[in-house]
């Protein structure tokens, strides 16, 4: 199974980024800097979405996570899957945590992915990963 950012969200980032980039022509110097930085940020996020697809892939050997700097393989035997829910300023957010550290003294690997990274609810992805885990009892 694979999870990636939704194509519609990536397309929206491109459209908004290009719109801001075109708007730079009509602004003063300070506006060009601010709007140009916003355009660059949106376009960079879109590029990341395209280059790091799929963000998360699960197979018989474990879970693979793709980033711009390369990928990480997390074997099932060492993997702990957890959904963390936080409430800040009245907004609830969920993240999927993939951890390979067996104890507090082990450096292991911690990967945190949000709804936008996965294109799906982190709780649903965690359930799917738990059903795919051959080491789960």
Residue-wise pLDDT tens digits, 56-94: 999 888 999 998 888 889 988 889 999 999 999 999 999
Residue 102 carries which DSSP code?
A: S
Distance CA 27, CA 31 (A): 5
Q: Are residues 14 and 73 in the same domain?
A: no
On whether residue 61 sits in a domain, the answer given is yes
Domain extent, residue 42, equals: 2-51
Could you give the 3-state DSSP secondary structure of residue 68? coil
Pick the closest to residue 82 from 111, 105, 53, 44 (CA basis): 111
Share of the chain above pLDDT 90, in %: 69
Q: Are residues 17 and 33 in the same domain?
A: yes
Task: Kindly report the CATH number assigned to the domain that includes residue 93.
Answer: 2.40.10
Distance CA 80, CA 104 (A): 14
Query: What pTM was computed for the model?
Result: 0.82
> The tokens of 90 are what?
């009245």
């Amino acid at each position: 199974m694979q999870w990636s950012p939704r194509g519609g969200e990536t397309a929206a980032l491109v459209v908004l980024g290009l719109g801001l980039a075109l708007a730079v022509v009509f602004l003063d110097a300070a506006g060009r800097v601010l709007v140009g930085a916003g355009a660059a940020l949106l376009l960079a996020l879109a590029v990341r979405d395209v280059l790091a697809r799929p963000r998360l892939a699960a197979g018989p050997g474990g879970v693979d996570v793709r980033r711009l700097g390369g990928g990480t393989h997390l074997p099932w035997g060492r993997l702990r899957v957890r959904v963390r829910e936080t409430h800040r300023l009245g907004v609830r957010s969920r993240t999927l945590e993939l951890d390979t550290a067996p104890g507090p003294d082990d450096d292991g690997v911690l990967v945190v992915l949000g709804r936008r990274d996965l294109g799906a609810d982190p709780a649903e992805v965690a359930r799917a990963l738990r059903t795919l885990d051959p080491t789960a009892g």
